[in-house]
Chain A
């Protein structure tokens, strides 16, 4: 009996310990938008995310009230703001590349939206959420943390984010995609971009050899013709 219960207890304890960290792998910001305070919780789907694995923008929006109960920073007990898939879009930014995606509501989770994509480079990603929220234009950016989903220090200072948009609270962080190479098993894994670059190099080498061969051939022909 002793041997059968111990793993279960340990697993339960580990799960309990892990849950807060997993749950905190998101960034929470609150804004007063046109007089109403909203809470945005942003992160990535399937954290920790790895290059070439499916992930996506994970956005949850709720009206914020301090009197609401069960507030763990995710707005699950706050009044959800629904229908934003009609008025908001999300732009992915990585390096100087951008791509705009539509948000889709998450089934059975009012106020939660997602926009799936495959990260192909281990770099810093920014999710820019823009459009209108209940009639007020917003343009908000959320950037992943290279340090992982460490608990960032709470920032309660007021920051003007645009006309009628003031940020009042910021905490937490969500992690950036990890490189794929070190996580492969049983062999090290290469990501698609690297493989593609290798293929290009090989192609360039082949082109180089062919061009060089043709040049030598042309030289030989020219030399022969001159002698004759």
Chain B
């Protein structure tokens, strides 16, 4: 049932994520950068060209005060780069918020990141790259309406000129045919106008939201963008066409041969198709954009013509017009010629955007392409079926025609629908760096981490030995496990003429060895359009040639059609229901295919309760690649994995084994607490940073008085050698303590707790202390309010902060959280480590979970309220220890909570 819902949602074209189009590829200052001196400007380079008047960068300081006085400008020499000057700024943390309009595809994107100036201003881990999500469905719908109208115009016009006009003298009732032609052409003009107007208003509405400006101002701004002006031009052209048709209608309909009126109407439609094609991803693709726009124009016409002719034929069937049998041979001949052209242009467009078959199952474009391919495949099959059946079994063809042509039209309308959806979906990125192979070992520049080399070794290999330089005596490189059989090391080590030796020992086999000769240019981004004559290109050529051959065969078969008598009894009651049924069935079939052959990574990510999101790959809140990519986002945007192999590897790790050892503990005497975390097989556990630390240790005394939240000294490093920690701690009093540890193992937050007995010194109090609200610590008074918590139900705790009687609005994040909360049951049998949440207006939907909780990093300043949602596992008395940070100092508060 869940799968059924999933593919229905996908097939309906309501993407869970709308995909951005112009995304940052390089930022100055870099995200998370800590600068010694203040920069003079902020400059961001995007993946697509930008609209100058409607793209902007805004920089605010920690107190949300805007510091940019001028608007950002697009670099005249590099239309991808947007720059805004900064005034003289002091030390501090700054948030860069950008909102841009692509000059290539007309789509809107926005996002933000942080940098800091001065050593005393650490960068918050809060950083986001978001997209305008309202673009998806209305834009698809309005575009589809426009294409539907265009289909009717092309279909009716071509059929009338090349199929109906030559035989109209032989038709019994020519006037009703001419009347139908007039009505359909007006309907086409009307639909195109409605679709265009809807698009213009929707985009204006989005732009107003993007820049938070008035609707009329946004309309003016949008009109000056490439997309907006092209939409207005299309509206003007179509209006001109409709008015012109009104004046020349009689002469056009009664002419006996081709004339200048035909040329005017075809000219209008050609200009419309060109204007529609100029706003597309083809212009952002470095492979000869002008040629791609030309191909796009042809493909738009061919695709809409196919649907248009079928719609007219279905309508003639439904109306039981006798002209039908006269025009079918000509209509089929036109469709066969069209078939040849579609084969060529479709193959080119697939080659241009898909880039590799592997992208079908790894990108959103590929998912929509699957749906499009299913409907297009059925359409092609039905076209071949119709021509072949008419040629070889004309009676059978005539008997089934009223139904079968409706089925083909149903497939065609879905092709146009999915085309509308794929047009607004961002195509897959090209492969950026060359991959060197030697046997089963590969070496490349990681596409998921900047300045990082990635090695893959055969399955079953041990961690490889990597030597840069001479095999005997070269530099031995320390590699980091990134996924099963995938290892990374700094690319800087091999940005010179050298040899990289990789030796991976195998179980019960000889070592896998490789030697890669590299130069400083080996992993440089490719220049030019970056396309090569690879296998995918060859296969697309083959597809085009096969299509052309099939089309030529169809044209040949169309030359010897025999006259048939079409039985059209009950035609409306057959054609219309079959048309609608086909749409429904193929719609579901395409959606099912997109799930079965869809992006498994995305499906897995969402099944795990995470979010599929386009953003810069991030680890522990730190961006690891400046190139935004689709990937799985979790922990409130603290992590985003674009590499399915890494995500799969981390989620496959089972629960870690934890050993906790200490010598006999004496109160007042420093003691070493030893923690070793290992995988099932005894190897060191793969740990990730969680809230800036690899390990959090909380110690609470049985009297609920003593509280400590401590971390090992080796935090802040990329990896923990051996996942072993040694923490020195002095217990103040004798008695029982709970020692709890929290860590992020792979993708799973794990927690363990142990009880320790401390001897010597003064004893803790026998009875646990009770703490009421409000709790006073220094000049702060913190209130806790909540409704009665129940066992295994999510509670809501609301903390309110005042200082010297005034609300505190500038609380600061502590270890990437609004508050850290340790919840301990009075008998020391239960421990919960959770975090406070801050709800901000306009926060990312993806940052909140299904319960509306916000797991995103908190803003730089917040207050005076913080929420928390612990789940208490059993009834009894608990103490809630809460830590907060204000004016650089961390304090803790505590409250007693009874759970029933």
Contact = CB atoms under 8 A, between A and B. Distances in A.
A146 interface: yes
A142 to B, nearest CB: 15
B515 A96 contact: no
A121 B510 contact: yes
B893 to A, nearest CB: 44
Interface string A58-102: 000000000000000000000000000000000000111000000
A178 B471 CA distance: 7
Given A146-B465, A147-B467, A124 B476 contact: no
A59 to B, nearest CB: 22
B475 to A, nearest CB: 10
A124 B511 contact: yes
Contact of B513 (A94, A122, A145, A175): A122
Interface string B292-316: 0000000000000000000000000
A146 B472 contact: no
Contacts of A182: 471, 515
B263 interface: no
Contacts of A137: none
A122 B473 CA distance: 16
A147 B465 contact: yes
B32 to A, nearest CB: 33
A96 B467 contact: no
Looking at A48, A122, A146, which has the most chain B CB atoms within 10 Å of its CB? A146
Given A148-B473, A150-B476, A175-B472, A123 B467 contact: no
Interface stretch (B501-509, B755-763, B797-805): B501-509
B383 to A, nearest CB: 43
Contacts of A48: 472
Contacts of B465: 145-147
Interface residues on B, range: 10 to 19
B471 A95 contact: no
Contacts of A110: none
A123 B515 contact: no
A142 B701 CA distance: 50
B472 A178 contact: yes
Nearest to A48: B472
A95 B509 contact: yes
Interface in B747-777: none
Contact of A122 (B467, B476, B509, B511): B511
Interface in A124-163: 124, 145-148, 150
A96 B505 CA distance: 12
A95 B506 contact: yes
Given A48-B472, A175-B472, A146 B505 contact: yes
Looking at A48, A148, A178, which has the most chain B CB atoms within 10 Å of its CB? A148
B510 A95 contact: yes
Interface string A193-204: 000000000000
Interface string B562-600: 000000000000000000000000000000000000000
Interface in B406-452: none
B489 to A, nearest CB: 14
A178 B508 CA distance: 20
A122 B503 CA distance: 10
B609 to A, nearest CB: 42
Contacts of B513: 122-123, 179
B510 A94 contact: yes
Interface in A160-189: 175-176, 178-179, 182
B473 A96 contact: no
A148 B476 CA distance: 9
Contact of B510 (A123, A147, A150, A175): A123
Looking at B472, B503, B509, B513, which has the most chain A CB atoms within 10 Å of its CB? B472
A160 to B, nearest CB: 15
B509 A96 contact: yes
Interface of A is mostly: loop
Contacts, number: 42
Contacts of A121: 510
Contacts of B503: 124, 146, 176
A182 B516 CA distance: 12
A96 B472 CA distance: 25
Interface string B539-572: 0000000000000000000000000000000000
B75 to A, nearest CB: 48
A146 B476 CA distance: 10
Contacts of B510: 94-95, 121, 123
Contacts of B476: 147-148, 150
A123 B505 CA distance: 7
Looking at A121, A123, A178, which has the most chain B CB atoms within 10 Å of its CB? A123
A48 B474 CA distance: 14
B511 A146 contact: yes
A100 to B, nearest CB: 18
Contacts of A123: 505, 510-511, 513
A175 B472 CA distance: 8
A95 B505 CA distance: 9
A83 to B, nearest CB: 35
Contacts of B508: 95-96
Nearest to A47: B472
A125 to B, nearest CB: 10
Interface in B665-690: none
Contacts of A148: 467, 471-473, 476
Interface string B469-484: 0011100100000000
Contacts of A146: 465, 503, 505, 511
Contacts of A175: 472
A134 B510 CA distance: 35
B775 to A, nearest CB: 48
Contact of A124 (B467, B505, B515): B505
Contacts of B471: 148, 178-179, 182
Looking at B503, B506, B515, which has the most chain A CB atoms within 10 Å of its CB? B503
Contacts of A178: 471-472
Contacts of A145: 465
Nearest to A94: B510
Contacts of B473: 148
B467 to A, nearest CB: 7
Interface string B455-477: 00000000001010001110010
Contacts of A96: 508-509
B661 to A, nearest CB: 15
Nearest to B466: A147
Contacts of B511: 122-124, 146, 176
Nearest to A50: B472
Nearest to B473: A148
A79 to B, nearest CB: 34
Contacts of B467: 147-148
Contacts of B472: 48, 148, 175, 178
B596 to A, nearest CB: 40
Nearest to B506: A95
A210 B515 CA distance: 38
Contacts of A150: 476
B325 to A, nearest CB: 54
A152 B476 CA distance: 12
A176 B472 CA distance: 10
A123 B506 CA distance: 9
Interface string B492-525: 0000000000010110111101010000000000
8 contacts: A48-B472, A94-B510, A95-B506, A95-B508, A95-B509, A121-B510, A123-B513, A147-B476
Given A124-B511, A146-B511, A148-B473, 20 more contacts: A94-B510, A95-B508, A95-B509, A95-B510, A96-B508, A121-B510, A122-B511, A123-B510, A124-B505, A146-B465, A146-B503, A146-B505, A147-B465, A175-B472, A176-B503, A178-B471, A178-B472, A179-B513, A179-B515, A182-B471
Interface of A: 48, 94-96, 121-124, 145-148, 150, 175-176, 178-179, 182
